[in-house]
Structure 1
Amino acid sequence: MRLVHDVSCKSIIEGDESEIAKAESLMKQISYFPASDLTVTAATQDCAKFHQLYGYDSIPNSNEERDFPLAYNILFYKDVAQIEMLLRAIYKPQNYYCLHVDGFAPESVHTAASALANCFENVFIASRTENIVYKSFARLQADINCMSDHLDLAEDWKYLINLPGQEYPLKTNQEIVKILKIYNNANDIEGILGKGLLSTRYIYEYKNVNTTSNKYNIISTNKRNPPPPHRISIVKGSAYGVFTRGFVDYVINNQTAKDFLNWCKGVLSPDEYYWATLNHNPHLSVPGSKADEKDWLAAFASWKGTDKCRGRWQRGVCVFGVGDLNYLISKKHLFANKFVIDYQPLPMQCLSEWLTNKTMTPLPFDSQYYKQLPFINNHF
């Protein structure tokens, strides 16, 4: 069994308050993973040694997983050490991983990310880099750049999952595969209507304005946007989802998708509208879309005022701490957001131990919850 030094992750995950308190007091002393971009760059100079030291060579791989390859987008602007932890948690040699490093990120981040990617045949840097500002169109374009690269790179992957660098899995790769096989070519994309639409984000046009720091701000022009093309009704959702290969092909190659993407250039936070709108407009007949509502299971986040948080709040979202782990492992979601390595590395380390132990000694997977989801047999 893999253990984290000085604390019992098993006890922490089981909710032992004394062990949680001990872990919180020792937090700064127990991180043995690379702590900076420079240490990741140094660790990956000898790829064979790196694979062995970090356990990539010893990850079990079932036939079921080999026959169901996945594609991932990972978008980030800092902390390549945390990206390595995320990559290791979801890594399989048959999967594909696109790393998009924010164009505004420091050179050390780009260097470390390239060094990490160079140690794998199935990990690559996005062919086109975007300069990303919070709520900007560039955030959506970065995902689309990776999607295009994945379509060009390989023909065998079944689903694509897009991740920010601060997510971490709650399921093993084998469990994710089992769930997605139950999905049977249906997307998992959040859809929100009513007051949650935040309609001022798209009724009025937004644009980028350059600043003296060579970056830009996003401002409202106070001008109304034209109606969306193709009789599209706007739906809000998350920037993150689980997308069938057919959906990704539609996004990249279908003219309707391209027209709507162009319209989204005037929208604030368009990544929270683009996927959801395409998926929830039945007349578009987008591959993998579905007609009825369901629980969105791509990623779990704790929201201030609704959910609990033993870590800290950031922009109304919980940055998970060790005290949240018992709560998190009960979730049906594939991933959780968010974790911050320089705040508390231990939650990811304990989840890594928990996932590794489940991978090494798989238990029977209870699939009943997923089989009963209303959309399973009702998508077009």
Structure 2
Amino acid sequence: METLSKEEEDYPLAFIITIHKDLEMFVRLLRAIYAPHNVYCIHIDAKAPEDYRLSVERLVECFPNVFLASVSETVTYGGFSRLKADINCMEDLVRSPVKWRKVINLCGQDFPVQSNLEMVRYMQHEEWRDNNMTPGIKQPENMQYRTHIKHIEVKGDYVASLGQGHKKSPPPHNLTIYFGTAYYSLQRAFVEYVLTSSVAKDLLEWSKDTYSPDEHYWVTLNHVEDAPGSRVNGEWEGNIRAIKWKDQEGTAHQGCSGRYIRDICIYDVKDLSWIIEKNSMFANKFESTSFPEALDCLEQWHRQKVLQQASVLIKLSWQLATEVNISTATVTG
């Protein structure tokens, strides 16, 4: 509950966290990234169980700088609702009294690799100080079906193509559509641009019947020359996420020690050395039940690093675990 350095205090961050399951995973994520000078908007999927929502509400009430999104979406994988969840939090965050500098979006299965201090320094590096981070490229031909053909979202279930007979109109304002990750680091001025500019609003409206619009919306706007912090020549730069995609096995990584779900690795302990070496801001994905040791180890490693970097006096209660010398411990019974 204390700021660990003036450097971090002078550069407050905003976080958007979208969740729908695995309460323990969310609690541990929030514990790892929490700092009293930052601000956190939590979007709970409207279809999440009521007891889950109540548990999150009770936790959030403990912190003045953590709040629930004022509007909850019924989120569908690949749907516009996923993008709208981030927009809803952004509308809340710009009204926050915290004068945050950049916003980072997370899901409930992310976990930090960099400390808050390292993230602040990374985003203030010469390459990123005046720029948003939205890794991506001009939309490849094999991804054009997402925005060339109309799709329909069956709320909370799936997104379906309407077929070749339902082609979409060209994007508004003669925009070039890009394709990239749904994860970002965005300047506050860019967020205000997203919420107020006609270009951003028209692209948002146009994106309603596309597939997985969060993978084209942010990166497309970040290639608009007039957008604050835009990176018109940017491609895949930006070390935001460590993700093991199945189709990148043998190139970007040497396999998943856990298991693949939707072609993304759920990490086990043996994946941690790759994650730490990659040193992204966050790693995705973890589950608290499938491979709990992986989360335990990374959480302990991350906390030790955070405390080692602190410029204030460390309290014993900030340690996640206490080392015990087994050889001198007295075993009874």
The answer for the alignment partner of 2:133 in structure 1 is: 188
Q: Distance in 2 between matches of 1:333 and 1:209?
A: 34
**Structure 1 position 207, deviation (Å):** 1.6
The answer to whether the 8 Å contact 1:60/1:360 transfers is no
**Structure 1 position 191, deviation (Å):** 1.2
Unmatched 5+ stretches in structure 1: 1-56, 365-380
Alignment partner of 1:199 out of 144, 160, 165: 144
The answer to whether the 8 Å contact 1:230/1:256 transfers is yes
Q: Distance in 1 between matches of 2:106 and 2:130?
A: 20
1:208 aligns with 2:150: no
Q: Structure 2-normalised TM-score?
A: 0.86
Q: Distance in 1 between matches of 2:6 and 2:310?
A: 16
The answer for the alignment partner of 1:326 in structure 2 is: 273
1:338 aligns with 2:288: no
Return closer, same or farther for 1:197/1:161 CA change in 2, 3 Å cut-off.
farther
Give 4+ residue runs of structure 1 displaced > 4 Å after superposition.
Answer: none
**Structure 1 position 345, deviation (Å):** 1.9
Unmatched 5+ stretches in structure 2: 312-333
Q: Distance in 1 between matches of 2:275 and 2:216?
A: 27
Q: Distance in 1 between matches of 2:97 and 2:35?
A: 15
1:288 aligns with 2:229: yes
Q: Distance in 2 between matches of 1:336 and 1:109?
A: 24
Kindly provide the CA deviation profile for residues 63-120 of structure 1, in whole angstroms up to 9, marking residues without a partner as x: 0011110000000111121111000111100000011000011111111110110010
Return closer, same or farther for 1:316/1:247 CA change in 2, 3 Å cut-off.
same
Number of equivalenced pairs: 301
Return closer, same or farther for 1:291/1:339 CA change in 2, 3 Å cut-off.
same
Kindly provide the CA deviation profile for residues 212-268 of structure 1, in whole angstroms up to 9, marking residues without a partner as x: xxx554222220111100010110111111111111111111111001100000101
SS at match of 2:117: helix
The answer for the alignment partner of 2:111 in structure 1 is: 168
The answer to whether the 8 Å contact 1:60/1:359 transfers is no
**Which is further off, 349-358 or 159-168?**
349-358
Kindly provide the CA deviation profile for residues 30-65 of structure 1, in whole angstroms up to 9, marking residues without a partner as x: xxxxxxxxxxxxxxxxxxxxxxxxxxx4x6510001
Q: Distance in 2 between matches of 1:332 and 1:341?
A: 21
Q: Which amino acid aligns with 1:242?
A: S
The answer to whether the 8 Å contact 2:5/2:310 transfers is no
Q: Distance in 2 between matches of 1:120 and 1:155?
A: 13
**What is the aligned-residue RMSD (CA, Å)?**
1.8
SS at match of 2:290: coil
Return closer, same or farther for 1:115/1:230 CA change in 2, 3 Å cut-off.
same
**Structure 1 position 333, deviation (Å):** 1.4
* % identical equivalent positions: 39
Q: Distance in 2 between matches of 1:195 and 1:359?
A: 40
